[in-house]
Amino acid sequence: MEKNYQGQKKGFLKEKIKSNYMKIDKKRLMKARLVARAVSNEARIRIMEYINKHDKTKVTPIYVHLRMEQAVVSSHLKILRDADLVFCTKEGKSVIYELNEHLVNNITEVMGG
């Protein structure tokens, strides 16, 4: 068996690097991409802050308070829903939005916040 100058067998480092590769979960990476996209927009962050401050809310108070068009807020909420950052439930004809605090907390922990 050949050894290098440090007394380790040749190819040791390559074997070690290969064993440290993680298995890539494409589904989880796609989910992370949705989350990254959702939190990279200032308007969506403001919407999340508003929902967090008011626990549960309808879309109308959000767009009135943030002085944004209803259609714009709705499209931002769709992106936040797709990323699972907000939950929505129907109450009669109304849709109620609630922040997914667990996911938001996990994101801020991972990102060092």
pLDDT tens digits, residue range 74-83? 999 999 999 9
Q: In the predicted model, is pLDDT for residue 37 greater than 60?
A: yes
The average pLDDT across 57-77 equals 96
Q: In the predicted model, is pLDDT for residue 38 greater than 60?
A: yes
The average pLDDT across 43-63 equals 95
Using the CB atoms, write b or e for 25-56: b if 16+ within 10 Å. eeeeeeeeebbeebbeeeebebbbebbeeeee
Q: What is the pLDDT of residue 22?
A: 65
Q: What is the pLDDT of residue 75?
A: 97
Q: In the predicted model, is pLDDT for residue 10 greater than 80?
A: no
Q: State the fold for domain 25-110.
A: Arc Repressor Mutant, subunit A (1.10.10)
- pTM beyond 0.85: no
Burial class (CB in 10 A: 0-12, 13-18, 19+), 19: exposed
pLDDT class of 19 with cuts at 50, 70, 90: low
Q: In the predicted model, is pLDDT for residue 54 greater than 60?
A: yes
